[in-house]
Amino acid sequence: MRLEGKVALITGGGSGIGLASAILFAKEGARVVVSDLHEAVVLEAADKITSAGGEARAVTGDVSNSAQAASMVSATVEAFGRLDILVNSAGVSARNALPEGSSPEDIWDKVMDVNLKGTYLMSWHAVPEMEKNESGSIINLASIMGLVGYPVGMGGGFNPYNPSKGGIVQFTRNLSIDLAQKGIRVNCICPGYVETNLTKVLTDDPESLRKLEERHPMGRLGRPEEIANAALFLASDEASFVTGAPLIVDGGYTAQ
């Protein structure tokens, strides 16, 4: 068991990469707190874990709200006595951030609030608990779109998703340096396109799916479990000399 004795808090844990990470971490011995905005999905996620013999709790909260971010951390410590791993997986895209017809400015603010500010706030409240243990691992979900721009014709110039994910990459670097001598590692994962709720509107359209698959040299999109495997490595002691790193898991997308 690679995470035996560890306690992990995973935001966005009700679906996609967050859910896959929660299930995998529990299989590897971690006690897991699954958080999301919606109670039904986190209860279902926690039930999946406990039904398989793992230990899990469900909490709800908005990562972009400082009080609620603090409450999620407090709930984790109250449930399991400590916090060793934080996975900042909660995120939105411009496509699903707000109802159709919302202004570009409101969409920008929402994406930045959830993706970048949420990562910042969860980390801010988690670090003091990790400092008590003189160890910890923070894993931020960035994206290849935090490293490159959208291709020509995709209308990405004013899309807030890329800047939000690029900000996560840089926040990861900055925080990792600050915490390195405190035994806390901070890394981020930069996935390619993955089959999740965030990409469903793209993958449901056969032509859009074909174009996306063609942009990945491996000829397919990623699966949430494949990103979870990368998160497991970064959470484990096997990554003890890894900090400040953007780990690219993209089927070759950015190698072109």
Q: Which of 120, 150, 161, 253 is catalytic?
A: 161
Element housing 207 (H / E): helix 206-215
Active site residue 161: yes
Question: Dihedral of CA 18/126/63/92: which sign?
Answer: negative
pLDDT of residue 197: 83
Question: Is 90 inside any structural domain?
Answer: yes
Total domains in the chain come to: 1
Stretch (H or E) spanning 100: none
Inside any domain, residue 75 = yes
Whether residue 1 lies inside any domain: the answer is: no
For the entire predicted model, the pTM comes to 0.96
234: containing domain: 7-255
Residue 2 located in a structural domain: no
Residue 95: predicted pLDDT: 86
Q: How far apart are CA 51 and CA 222, in angstroms?
A: 27
pLDDT of residue 25: 98
Residue pair 54/6 in contact by the 8 Å Cβ criterion: no
**209 within domain boundaries:** yes
The domain spanning residue 235 has which CATH number? Answer: 3.40.50.720
Coil, strand or helix at 179: helix
Please give the chain's pLDDT, 256 residues, in tens: 999 999 999 999 999 999 999 999 999 999 999 999 999 999 999 999 999 999 999 999 999 999 999 999 999 999 999 999 999 999 999 988 898 889 999 999 999 999 999 999 999 999 999 999 999 999 999 999 999 998 877 667 899 999 999 999 999 999 999 999 999 999 999 999 999 888 888 888 899 899 999 999 999 999 999 999 999 999 999 999 999 999 999 999 999 9
